[in-house]
Amino acid sequence: MSTARIAYDDKLERILRIAAEVFSEKGYHRASIRDISRATGVSLSGLYYYVDSKEELLYRIQEHGFGTLLANLDELLAGVTDPHRKLRLLVENHLRYFVGNMKEMKVLSHEAESLTGDMREAVDAMKRSYSRIAKEILAELSAGEPAIDLRVATYSLFGMMNWIYNWYHPDLDVAVEELAEDIHRLFLRGFIGREDADMPPGAAEAAPGDTRPSIWRR
């Protein structure tokens, strides 16, 4: 019974992972269930044993990706009070997962509007709490006198980070560590205005290398 459950979960996970690849390559609407059937080796109707609809496939991919991103951020931020450190951890967490799961993250970033109804709302809610965390960190960081509109700053940060699926190639470009460092520095100096003022020692250092290569296996 338990081994059957595990087999079921494994197969579902495999379907989701491959579906994410197909969606990221062709786009959600252009990709057909038949494409996913072909890519997974599971028959057309067989897919419907694991999932109720094509939309649920997209939902579970987004839910899974965003859930992991959020959970890991919570874990990383636990006990940390210094906002400089928090920002650094957020950027690093975000980019590490983005680069480590480019296909899935492209689907998260690019297919935001492809969900409808309750599933759309559920994912949007996660997105809202994620950006609220970021916005609060920036508010602490600017401490009273934000020279730059907080909404503009928050979404500029996300823009820098989420845009990478449009250009970043792990083979050609700088490694993730440097990418995270560059984007962190770019944003922080721009936002704070003065270089590293008030920053406690170690706040800008990289987090210990907790790689966790795939969101599908923890």
- Name the residue nearer to a second copy (CB basis): 27 or 100: 27
Output the smallest distance, CB 209 to a second copy, in A.
20
Phi and psi, residue 121, nearest 5°: -60, -40
For DNA (CB under 7 A), the number of binding residues is 22
* C-alpha count within 13 angstroms, C-beta hemisphere, residue 181: 9
Residue 66 binds which entry of a second copy, DNA, none, with Cβ cut-offs from 5 to 8 Å by kind? none
Residue type, 27: G
Residue from the set 12, 27, 56, 140 that interacts with a second copy by CB under 8 A? 27
Cα-Cα-Cα-Cα dihedral sign, residues 12, 15, 18, 24: negative
Place of tokens 């690019």: 110
Residue 204 binds which entry of DNA, a second copy, none, with Cβ cut-offs from 5 to 8 Å by kind? none
- Name the residue nearer to a second copy (CB basis): 29 or 38: 29
Q: Is 210 in the site for a second copy (CB under 8 A)?
A: no
Query: Residues 32 to 61: which contact DNA by CB under 7 A?
Result: 32-35, 42-46, 48-50, 52-55
Q: What is the DSSP letter of 213?
A: -
CA–CA separation, 173 vs 118, rounded Å? 39
Place of tokens 């602490």: 140
Q: Is 30 in the site for a second copy (CB under 8 A)?
A: yes
Output the smallest distance, CB 117 to DNA, in A.
12
* Residue 193: burial class (beta carbons within 10 Å; 0-12, 13-18, 19+): exposed
Stretch that binds DNA, among 4-12, 72-80, 116-124, 197-205 (CB under 7 A): 4-12
Listed residue (184, 168, 34) closest to 99, CA to CA:
168
Binding mask 165-184 for a second copy (x = CB under 8 A): -xxx----xx---xx--xx-
Q: Is 198 in the site for a second copy (CB under 8 A)?
A: no
54 touches 61 (CB < 8 A): no
Residues that bind DNA (CB under 7 A): 1, 4, 7-8, 11, 31-35, 42-46, 48-50, 52-55
